[in-house]
Amino acid sequence: MAGSRKSPTTVVREEAWAWLEASLGWMPGRTGRIVRRLAYRPFIASIGFLDVAEHTHLRSPQCLRVGRGVSIGRGSQLTCGGGLVIGDDVMIAQEVTIITNGHVFDDVTVPMVKQGIFDKPVFIEDDVWIGTGVRIMAGVRIGKGAIIAAGAVVTRDVEPYTINGGVPARAIGKRTPGQTGAPADAARSSASADS
């Protein structure tokens, strides 16, 4: 943004990340996932296993905090500059977009491009399943055990153990802790297992 100056260390780190991600992001299969896991580790605060599929873009990875057993599907875009915290055992399917900041547009007398950026962190709690093509907007908290159905646009907080779908996303079902048997029809038909 105009008027903001970055330290030389920050510029070098951002440039290193851009080259690293571009160099390794295309690598397919398990080999690519293993290479990315090892190479990305110094840039991302992770306490456990992080599985990043090919063609996934992580913007400002230094603002990403990841728990154990997290997988991010191919072609996803995570804009982490406003702060993104992902809990344990989270499944993020392919083509998911998570946004943690945006453009300020309050003053109609000043072009939006000159009004700056706002940051609003996103929190994704443990054991969440985010379906294919989901969009999660800045400032949202997704509760433990929630499911976000494919194609949903999440604009507000999601309660724990709920199944959410639609544009904007709303609760369309509920999960019961300890529930056994087949998954709810809404989740089975709307979410994607390919992450």
Q: Name the residue among 117, 157, 151, 116 with its Cα closest to residue 137.
A: 157
- Told to judge if 103 belongs to the known catalytic residues of this protein, a careful annotator would answer yes
Catalytic residue from among 6, 22, 42, 103: 103
Take residue 26 and report the two structure tokens written for it.
């295309």
- Give the pairing of strands 141-142 and 147-148: unpaired
Interatomic CA distance for residues 46 and 25, integer angstroms: 18
Computed on alpha carbons and rounded to an integer, the radius of gyration of the chain in Å comes to: 17
Location of structure tokens 């500059």: 81
What are the residue numbers of the active site? 103
